[in-house]
Structure 1
Amino acid sequence: MKSRSKSEPAPFNAVRVVVSYLFAAGPLGSGTWRWRTASTFALIGPGSVPFALILLVSQQQMLFYDYDIAWGVLPALATSAAIVLARFRPVEAWALVLASLAAVMVGARFIGWQPWPLTSPNLMALMVVLFALARDRRPWAGVLAWASYFAVGTVAIWASNSRLVTIVSDPVSNPTPTPATDSLTLGALLGALAFLIGLTVRIWRQGRARVAEEERVAETERHQRRLLEERTRIARELHDIVAHHMSVIAVQSSTAEYRLAGLGEEAKAEFRSISGQARESLAEMRRLLGVLRSEDEAGARAPQPGPEALRGLAEAVDRAGTPVALRVGGLPEDLPETVALTVFRVVQEALSNVVRHAPGAATDVEVAAVDGRIEVTVVNGPPPLAKLAGHRSAQAGGAVPDPHGSGLGLVGMRERVSLDGGVLETGPSAEGGFRVRAVLPIEDRSTVEESP
């Protein structure tokens, strides 16, 4: 919706901002609203300035000519002000409605066929304010407001019956001995209906807010779960790398006394101690790995891939219909295994995102060593429209192609890159595609490994 308002002409957007002050079509000063059912009802709802002006004119004319109240502009102003104020302060607006009702009750002298003391504009204001009270305040506030109206109406009927207030009416058009009874009863029924409608709107809004909050919490939990799953996956893969090095240490230390001549007993004992600690560490890591691995991964012992596997990955994606141009060069032969694995996973996840979100888009992958660091860049262009339409149809049918990666996308890439002390940059490209760039340090790694 925001993007729509930004694309609209400035004068049109300014008109929408002005209209937002005239009635409750949207937040004050906002041009993001659009015409809908709620906007239509807002024309006669709380805060509607046009509706308030209509009631002001009609109430003033009615009180002056039909009720013989020379100062009728004052209760008319109270009635119209209550409509506008109901949008922000419905309790104060209700006080204005009662004040206008009391003014008509005391000041009217001749009513002819008109209702008394609840005039037609007052009835409209009463319903609007009771609706606003039930919608924006706690239910007991609306109940007390309706009860206060009932109390004022009871006083008006008592005053009319006791002749404390003298009202001259037309016996033909208004033969009721107590003219207050009919109008006040009608006001009580319609006011109760407006209160119930406002209460229904309040309950509906609260339900929507709770659903939105639950969705937000669920999305946060899903993100955290995905993050933990990716960290667990990284831990499993790092185990395989570390276990290889620990195995080498264990073998070398256990065979040192046979391979190296002239070792004293203390040196042999030291090598035996190193061998024992290495084997104990391997056993602890295997026990930890048994907890981290899921049942279907219990027997997985495949070697971890590195940059040498990128060629096959690019060819597989290319065969799937997404052309990939791969350039790998200048990588050192003694590239750390964790960095090598991260390079492969970043490219794998980036290509997986291209297949999922931009099928058929031309993609450039570049991996190179620059100034003591590895730079991985994956840039794709916009997808062909035909393939994008087919991809969306496949998504609608539930067949989303996902032949590569873990499906964790940016979350997994960011975790892996930060683990190696690198930096990940992602965002749209100027050509309408997407760009992923990771920078991984390969020199002076002691600082990275010792940092907390």
Structure 2
Amino acid sequence: PVGAFWASMAATPLTVLFGGSMGDWPWPPAAFVCHLTVLTVVAIRTRPRTAAYMWAVTGAYGFLGEVVFGPGHYYGTNTGPMMVVSALFLLVVAVWHTRREARQEVTAQQTVTAHERSRRTLLEERTNIARELHDVVAHHMSVVAIQAEAAPYRVENPPPELERAFATIRENAVAALTELRRVLGVVRAEDYEAPEAPQPTLADLEALLANVRDAGLDVEKAVTGAARELPPGVELSAYRIVQEALSNSLRHAPGASARVEVAYVLGGLGLRIVNGPPPAPDLVKPSPGAGHGITGMRERVSMLNGEMTAGPAQDGGYEVTVFLPVTTTSEDGS
């Protein structure tokens, strides 16, 4: 673009000299339109500052042409019209540049805001999960330490080796509990209050289903496999996943029915929560949520190295499928 501008500037006097035109000076009609077009294109493709410099050079050329040749050599000068018309064109282009940059800045800011919102959501979910796990693990470690301290008193005349073993267990449990509180305690807010009741498990699903039924959701539960006690983190995460999935069904598919399937399989726990489409989607509007439900479920599954799929079902409803692996150990602890 800059080269085109200088080519237009060089061609304008040559057109006048070799064309022999006695029209307006220093821009004959064809050169006037050509140079104005070049100025506009250059302004579009370069920065506004560059266009302003070129407009100033154009004015200097017109002023020099009038001083050197004077109006007596030609019928008249058109430097004034060139400067006014080109200034209007450049002003329009500058406004267009400003609006385009503003739109780009707004788009970039919206992208950054969405990214930060998503990142903040992940951090909030991880913080909530860490709080819950801290409460679960801290409770069990405290029980281990108390039982290790009380165990020698349950045996009459325990041997010294047994007392030392229980003392070592208690010391390790207390040390682990202290380290756990030091590492995970930083995620607690100052106004956070630990729950007084134990964290929920899969044994509390019936109470949860009763609550959502009272809220208007027709839900049924199916359990396959031999029910067994799972690690506290798996139990808590499974409960929270079912709770969030049913909450999403209430919000986004009011009036629909849901089904919760719990499968105790070899090597882990399978969950499937599916709801049908709302019976009258045009009459009952879904209730908007915070949009963090699926994110929180994925974070819980990812923390336990599990797998999760969530998406629309074939019948128009929604389905969430989760597998949480559970490491099994033999009786000898190997």
User: RMSD of aligned C-alpha atoms?
Assistant: 3.3
Task: Please state whether the residue corresponding to 2:255 is helix, strand or coil.
Answer: coil
Aligned counterparts of 2:15 and 2:144: Cα–Cα separation in 1:
99
Is structure 2 residue 172 aligned with structure 1 residue 282?
Answer: no
2:302 maps to which residue?
A: 418
Q: Could you tell me whether the CA contact under 8 Å between 1:133 and 1:195 is conserved in 2?
A: no
The within-5 A match list for 1:38-117 is 90-95=1-6, 97-98=8-9, 101-102=12-13, 104-109=15-20
Residues 289, 117 of structure 1: alpha-carbon distance in 2 compared, 3 angstrom cutoff: closer
Residues 257, 295 of structure 1: alpha-carbon distance in 2 compared, 3 angstrom cutoff: same
- Displacement of 1:125: 4.9
1:134 maps to which residue?
A: 43
2:57 maps to which residue?
A: 148
- Displacement of 1:240: 2.3
Q: What one-letter code is carried by the residue in structure 1 that aligns with 2:323?
A: V
Aligned counterparts of 2:34 and 2:218: Cα–Cα separation in 1:
67
Task: Please state whether the residue corresponding to 1:386 is helix, strand or coil.
Answer: coil
Residues 226, 99 of structure 1: alpha-carbon distance in 2 compared, 3 angstrom cutoff: same
- CA distances 1:220-273 after superposition (whole Å, capped 9, x unpaired): 222222222211211111122212321332132112222234532233123123
Structure 1 ranges of 4+ moved more than 6 A: none
2:323 maps to which residue?
A: 439
Q: Could you tell me whether the CA contact under 8 Å between 1:359 and 1:387 is conserved in 2?
A: no
1:53 maps to which residue?
A: none
Residues 299, 347 of structure 1: alpha-carbon distance in 2 compared, 3 angstrom cutoff: closer
2:255 maps to which residue?
A: 360
- CA distances 1:23-67 after superposition (whole Å, capped 9, x unpaired): xxxxxxxxxxxxxxxxxxxxxxxxxxxxxxxxxxxxxxxxxxxxx
- Displacement of 1:443: 3.8
Q: Could you tell me whether the CA contact under 8 Å between 1:290 and 1:298 is conserved in 2?
A: no
Aligned counterparts of 1:222 and 1:308: Cα–Cα separation in 2:
35
Aligned counterparts of 2:241 and 2:29: Cα–Cα separation in 1:
71
Residues 92, 236 of structure 1: alpha-carbon distance in 2 compared, 3 angstrom cutoff: same
1:222 maps to which residue?
A: 117
Residues 162, 240 of structure 1: alpha-carbon distance in 2 compared, 3 angstrom cutoff: closer
Task: Please state whether the residue corresponding to 2:282 is helix, strand or coil.
Answer: helix
Bigger relative CO (Cα 8 Å, ≥ 6 apart): 2
Aligned counterparts of 1:354 and 1:103: Cα–Cα separation in 2:
78
- CA distances 1:358-401 after superposition (whole Å, capped 9, x unpaired): 4334433322123432221223344432355x34xx6xxxxx5x
Q: Could you tell me whether the CA contact under 8 Å between 2:308 and 2:320 is conserved in 1?
A: yes
| TM-score normalised by length of structure 2 | 0.82
Give the share of equivalent positions with the same residue, in percent: 38
Aligned counterparts of 2:315 and 2:3: Cα–Cα separation in 1:
57
Aligned counterparts of 2:57 and 2:329: Cα–Cα separation in 1:
77
| TM-score normalised by length of structure 1 | 0.63
Q: Could you tell me whether the CA contact under 8 Å between 2:125 and 2:296 is conserved in 1?
A: yes
Aligned counterparts of 2:53 and 2:181: Cα–Cα separation in 1:
70
Aligned counterparts of 2:314 and 2:7: Cα–Cα separation in 1:
59
Residue from 306, 311, 315 that aligns with 2:206 = 311
Aligned counterparts of 2:39 and 2:55: Cα–Cα separation in 1:
7
- CA distances 1:334-368 after superposition (whole Å, capped 9, x unpaired): 22221111111112222233333443344333221
Q: Could you tell me whether the CA contact under 8 Å between 2:220 and 2:259 is conserved in 1?
A: yes
Is structure 2 residue 148 aligned with structure 1 residue 253?
Answer: yes
Q: Could you tell me whether the CA contact under 8 Å between 1:310 and 1:344 is conserved in 2?
A: yes
Q: What one-letter code is carried by the residue in structure 2 that aligns with 1:420?
A: L
Q: Could you tell me whether the CA contact under 8 Å between 1:326 and 1:364 is conserved in 2?
A: yes
Q: Could you tell me whether the CA contact under 8 Å between 2:16 and 2:28 is conserved in 1?
A: no
Aligned counterparts of 1:300 and 1:314: Cα–Cα separation in 2:
21
Q: Could you tell me whether the CA contact under 8 Å between 1:101 and 1:118 is conserved in 2?
A: yes
Task: Please state whether the residue corresponding to 1:412 is helix, strand or coil.
Answer: helix
Q: Could you tell me whether the CA contact under 8 Å between 1:427 and 1:436 is conserved in 2?
A: yes
- CA distances 1:82-128 after superposition (whole Å, capped 9, x unpaired): xxxxxxxx3344345445634542344456xx755545565555445
